[in-house]
Amino acid sequence: MRIATLTSGGDCPGLNAVIRGIVRTAAEYGSTVVGFEDGWQGLLEDRRVQLYDDDFIDRILSRGGTILGTGRLHPDDFKAGIEQIKANLEDAGIDCLIPIGGEGTLKGAKFLADNGIPVVGVPKTIDNDVNGTDYTFGFDTAVAVATDAIDRLHTTAESHDRVMIVEVMGRHVGWIALHAGMASGAHDILIPEHPFDIEEVCKKMARRFQLGEKYGIIVVAEGALPKEGTLEIADREVDQFGHEKFQDISGLIAKEIENRLDTEVRSTVLGHIQRGGTPTAFDRVLATRFAVNATKACLRGDFNKVVALKGQEIELIDFEEAVGTLKEVPDYRYATAQNLFG
Ligand code: F6P
């Protein structure tokens, strides 16, 4: 069998571990693997590379980023290119494609499946927002990086009697903010699923100061928004892929707290540091298990599915379960964290 793979959308630690896992598993069963460069774009333009089960592939397990490169393609261009994609896959003699990506990529994979192309999807994202899987690889690494950063901010905040606002990634969901905030003992966590009231945020900090504390740490997801009518915020622009552009929510919150409370406030945006670098052991193992299971599904002809972590086990789920809705932080999880705020 001849398998193809590609990595699409924002990168994430663990992508190379998946590529390695696919190549090594395929080789074990006498199959070969082709990689398309830069996501869907490379598939459309037939930019392919043969991947060999050699020392190079073996050593990429712990390497961040993706050796295949990644990119984003507008869904309209993608759909318009379906015949070209089919022709390129046929020309390369591909029996099954394993696209690795987030919800947008999996939607694209479903479109290919609906058009008769055998695919098995592998979910990835540091945001952990793909539905149907308990975790995506990359998330654990992002949380570890953010937790380390927030631990560091605690000590400098404490030394200067300051409030620190830490902005982490999370376009639509607050998983990174929730986990990194809980792990680092943040005094407040603001996530997109629960619009915040700046008055309440300030009250919580003021209460903390009344109790004798002199500093505070607030973790905010980049996609967090104030409750309607509580804080003026400019309309968000949208980029060419339909993604909203964020406008320094941490800076805005910092300014408000400084204006309302007699305290010094600083903000830090962690940004792409959360996405770069070497994956944690957990992410390497999850990525590898996804790869092995996706490759074996291809080999036995179990197409048009997505690999997912359910409890301790890797299962195959339908595309319908993985795409369409994002996995948000449930209320009870946020409530658990809230008990510890202040
Ligand atoms: O991978 C998801 C994500 O990390 C979001 O949290 C973030 O908003 C986005 O990617 C930013 O990606 P880029 O800067 O590559 O557009």
Dump pLDDT digits (tens) for 275-315.
Answer: 999 999 999 999 999 999 999 999 999 999 999 999 999 99
Instruction: State whether the beta carbon of 275 lies less than 6 angstroms from ligand 1.
Output: yes
Instruction: Give the residue with greater pLDDT, 335 vs 242.
Output: 335
CATH number at residue 234: 3.40.50.460
**How remote is the CA of residue 10 from the centroid of ligand 1, in Å?**
6
The number of beta carbons lying within 10 Å of the beta carbon of residue 112 is: 22
Q: What is the pLDDT of residue 239?
A: 80
Percent of the chain with pLDDT over 70: 100
Residue 315 pairs with which residues in a beta bridge? Answer: 308
- Answer yes or no: do 143 and 271 share one domain: yes
Within a domain: 90: yes
pLDDT of residue 292: 98
In a domain? residue 336: no
Does 342 fall in a domain? no
Instruction: Specify the pLDDT at position 243.
Output: 78
- Annotated active-site residue in 11, 38, 127, 188: 127
Per-residue pLDDT band for 234 (boundaries 50, 70, 90) equals confident
Any binding-site annotation on 208?
no
Token pair of 67, please? 């050796």
- Does residue 333 form part of some domain? no
The upper half-sphere exposure of residue 290, i.e. CA atoms within 13 Å in the direction of its Cβ, equals 35
Domain match, 127 and 162 both: no
| % of the chain residues with pLDDT over 90 | 93
Cβ–Cβ contacts within 10 Å for residue 292, how many? 18
Give the per-residue pLDDT at 236. Answer: 74
DSSP at 278: P
* 146 shares its domain with 271: yes
Asked if 34 and 64 sit in the same domain, the reply is yes
| Confidence at 244, pLDDT banded by 50, 70, 90 | confident
Gap between the Cα atoms of 278 and 146, Å rounded: 14
Examine residue 340 and state whether it is found in any structural domain, yes or no: no
Do 169 and 89 have their domain in common? no
Q: What is the mean pLDDT of residues 90-114?
A: 98
Q: Judge if 257 and 283 occupy the same domain.
A: no
Asked, for residue 341, whether it belongs to a domain, the answer is no
Same domain, yes or no, for 188 and 80? no
Q: Based on the domain organization, do 286 and 271 belong to the same domain?
A: no
Which residue segment(s) compose the domain that 178 sits in?
139-275
Give the pLDDT of residue 254: 97
Closest of 301, 326, 277 to residue 29, by C-alpha: 301
Give the tens place of pLDDT for each residue, 260-279.
998 999 999 999 999 999 99
Contacts of 196 (CB under 8 A, 6+ apart): 190, 224, 225, 226, 227, 230
CA–CA distance, 190 with 27 (Å, rounded to integer):
46
Is there a single domain that holds both residue 283 and residue 197?
Answer: no
Same domain, 154 and 78: no
Q: What is the pLDDT of residues 123-155, one digit of tens each?
A: 999 999 999 999 999 999 999 999 999 999 999
CB 227: neighbour CB atoms within 10 A?
13
What is the value of pTM for the model shown?
0.96
Same domain, 199 and 221: yes
| Domain count for the chain | 2
d(CA 134, CA 286): 11
Residue 180 lies in a domain: yes
Of 109, 162, 134, 90, the C-alpha closest to 311 is: 134
Is residue 95 flagged as an active site residue? Answer: no
Three-state secondary-structure class, residue 222 = coil
Burial 245-254 (b: 16+ CB within 10 A, else e): ebeebbebbb
Distance 8 CA to ligand 1 centre (A): 12
Query: Domain holding 83: CATH number?
Result: 3.40.50.450
Cα-to-centroid distance, 48 and ligand 1 (Å): 25
Do 191 and 77 belong together in one domain? no
Round to whole Å and give the CA distance between 104 and 188: 31
Q: How does the average pLDDT of the chain come out, rounded? A: 96
Domain end position, chosen among 275, 291, 312: 275
**How many H-runs (helices) and E-runs (strands) does the chain carry?**
13, 11
Q: Ligand 1 in contact with 170 (CB < 6 A)?
A: yes
Strand-pair partners of 328: none
Residue 182 in domain:
yes
Interval 208-233: pLDDT, tens: 999 999 999 999 999 999 999 898 88
